[in-house]
Chain A
Amino acid sequence: MYVAVKGGERAIAAAHELLARRGRGDRAVPALESDQVRDQLGVLVSRVMNEGSLYDPDLAARAIVQAQGDALEAVTLLRTYRTTLPRYGATVALDTAGLPSERRVSATFKDLPGGQQLGATFDYTHRLLTDAADDEPAGEGLGTGLRPARPAEAPAAADGHLDARMPRISDLLGAEALLEEHVPSPGDPEPADLTREPTIFPMSRAERLQALARGDEGFLLSLGYSTQRGYGRTHPFVGEVRVGEVEVEFVAPETGEALPIGRIEVTECQMVNQFVGDAVTPPQFTRGYGLAFGRAERKAMSMSLVDRALRADEFGERRVGPAQDEEFVLAHSDAVEATGFVEHLKLPHYVDFQAELVLIRQLRAVHRQRDRAGHETTAGDRVGQSDSIGGTP
């Protein structure tokens, strides 16, 4: 009893030992290698990199294996490692227009310079669970097409029979001034870094976008969805979603010139939203923006919906939905924080609970006394009344 209530080092060690065994599963089955995860569970790797705020498919894959497939646990591992790394500075802004996309679709125009490119997508697959038959040709059978007939074929589509230049849909609209301009904040300051600086509300849009990029995919999805259902409606159109590899450039202080330091795969979403305008400014479409590492279309789209909703004040819109409330969204979008605090309820709380017990017993004792006094004066006409205190603190 008393001793059993308390934990102890041996119990923790034994629990971790059991966890490792459960994670390994049947030893007759080969252990999962992290490069298998990196290459074959790429969508999950993207999610972990996004919420972990670190572009490193190898480390993300390792984290997923170590976390036994628990995405949030893997995100936590990645962040915990990331925070110990030095920060050298900010890269040159990515040029998402300048590089051929593997995938690029627009819902606003049927044809546009650079064309539409379907790329690797789950869209239009029939979501039928099938046998993982290795010999099923792509696009045949049940049409899942998830296994390439010849592994070399899929990448071939990606390298550029399309126009090398795919101007952003937002630039096309922007040329006619139909869409609000993308202008940097006054003075074009270095973007703040949420992971290195204190959070103070209200945040700049750059900080907000960082927070959304780290935010939980499911939470942002639901919030974005809520705006579509009337809780802060923004009338969105997908101007463009594109997935592709971009070059990352960094200005090294030694040379003073931008040098390419590598390539990363990103998903970008430009959402075109309802127009605003007033007596002075002619009506213009507004925009919401989403950018995520790897293949993360759902995330980028949700992010752009929420980004736009959070700009309510900027456009003088009445805030009627939770997605428009900066503090509500940004204080609760981080799933690592959320899961930690929800799960901390497992920790012992007997001290606080004891304090509540002491109080509730006192309150009930007072109530009983009053009740008894009541009985005496009203000659028992309250018999059978419960002794509850009639409210929960």
Chain B
Amino acid sequence: MTLPRIEYNHAYLDEQTKRTIRRALLKAVAIPGFQVPFASREVPMPRGWGTGGVQVTAAVIGAGDTLKVIDQGADDTTNAVSIRRFFERVAGAATTTDTGEATVIQTRHRIPETPLAEGQIMVYQVPIPEPLRFLEPRETETRRMHALQDYGLIYVKLYEDIARFGRIATTYAYPVIVNGRYLMDPSPTPSFDNPKLHRSPALHLYGAGREKRIYAVPPYTDVESLGFEDHPFEPQRFSQPCAICGSTGVYLDEVVLDDRGGAMYVCSDTDHCERTAAAPAAAAAAAAERAPSRRAGAYERAHSTRMHTFDEQEGAHA
């Protein structure tokens, strides 16, 4: 028995498929916020683990690109590592953890803290692209609602939140209106990140592999988070700074320390945290000794001298 040899194309997807995805992307950019159906292909990860994002990245990444992959804001979470390694392996892609260096950033659930620049592409992994899905399960119906700009239902939902909890109780996947026309799910990013989309100089591409939809927010597009005059949109706020780098005004992860309610708060964006922590600390360390490499030292050092770093940083970031 001779088995066929198994070989894969550069960047895994065949060129024809990349073209069909690019056509869907062009349409998505032309109609900001509109969900373009596309023939989502299988990729070597399970559905629901970023297959839409992987297809979009495979379709847009070129020889000159540098890829960053984050999950929950972190470069070193397992799925981010897995996807980054996939592109290193099949596309020979240059990768980085530095937001500023990256030309393509694939993400799940966060937008980096470092402001994005023109020419950068954000690629979002989207589980449920339809912002009306939990109000109306039928696709035939929701497509009609988008066509007629019939968005009353979502306002009723937000109103019901207020009636029940006294405020809008949507904390992530907070719906937005793009370019004054289409209602869009910004993917399950915390509403904290929503303001970063408004008139962002970067191109934002959203890929939902399992649901077979692509949509986009082109650079410098209006993105308005829904709200009411008396109950305007309010993103999350954290009262404390990051315990490692001291940053304020950033999104924090809560790290449970013990079973008595003890917790510390640290940046969800690991790249931001490492660089903020390393900048002054490295200078101090260099004076004492040879500066350790950025990746090797930042965490452990910040960790062991946590309180110290915190004090040091507080003034600079207040």
Contact = CB atoms under 8 A, between A and B. Distances in A.
A197 B39 CA distance: 5
Given A83-B17, A347-B71, 6 more contacts: A84-B14, A198-B37, A352-B109, A352-B188, A363-B166, A391-B164
Contacts of B191: 355
A355 B171 contact: yes
Interface string A73-105: 000100111111010000000000000000000
Interface stretch (A2-10, A159-167, A236-244, A282-290): A2-10
Interface string A153-177: 0000000000000000000000000
A201 B251 CA distance: 39
10 contacts: A2-B266, A82-B42, A84-B8, A340-B49, A351-B109, A351-B172, A352-B190, A355-B192, A363-B169, A389-B165
A48 interface: no
A12 interface: yes
A335 to B, nearest CB: 10
Given A1-B257, A201-B139, A349-B109, A355 B42 contact: no
Contacts of B236: 355, 358-359
Interface string B242-270: 00000000011111110000001010101
Interface string B71-87: 11110111101100100
B41 interface: yes
Contacts of A80: 42-44
A373 interface: no
A40 to B, nearest CB: 15
Interface in A186-226: 195-202
Given A337-B210, A355-B236, A357-B254, A84 B9 contact: yes
A156 B48 CA distance: 48
A62 interface: yes
B12 A3 contact: no
Given A199-B212, A202-B140, A344 B48 contact: yes
B1 interface: yes
A393 B254 contact: no
Interface in A325-374: 327, 331, 336-337, 339-344, 347-352, 354-359, 362-363, 366
Contact of B303 (A2, A82, A83, A327): A2
A11 interface: yes
Interface of A: 1-3, 5-9, 11-12, 35, 58-59, 62, 76, 79-84, 86, 195-202, 327, 331, 336-337, 339-344, 347-352, 354-359, 362-363, 366, 389, 391, 393
Closest 3 CB pairs of A and B: A340-B47, A7-B78, A198-B37
B40 to A, nearest CB: 8
Interface residues of B, number: 71
B255 to A, nearest CB: 5
B38 to A, nearest CB: 5
B253 A393 contact: no
B165 A348 contact: no
Contact of B190 (A79, A327, A354): A354
A1 B139 CA distance: 43
B72 A350 contact: yes
A351 B253 contact: yes
Contacts of A198: 37-39, 212
B48 A355 contact: no
Nearest to A345: B48
B210 A340 contact: yes
A344 B46 contact: yes
B72 A84 contact: no
B238 interface: yes
Q: Is the interface of A mostly helix, strand, loop or mixed?
A: helix
Nearest to A358: B236
Contacts of A9: 81, 85
A83 B42 contact: yes
A12 B169 contact: no
Given A84-B14, A201-B140, A356-B171, A343 B46 contact: yes
B204 interface: no
A189 to B, nearest CB: 17
B3 interface: yes
A217 B10 CA distance: 34
Contact of A81 (B6, B161, B188, B257): B6
Contact of B47 (A196, A336, A348): A336
A342 B47 CA distance: 9
B190 A366 contact: no
Contact of A354 (B108, B138, B139, B253): B253
Nearest to A193: B39
Interface in B162-221: 164-167, 169, 171-172, 188-192, 210, 212
B299 A340 contact: no
Given A84-B8, A86-B14, A352-B188, A340 B253 contact: no
A327 B43 CA distance: 24
B239 to A, nearest CB: 10
B32 to A, nearest CB: 19
B127 interface: yes
B272 interface: no
Contacts of A59: 3-4
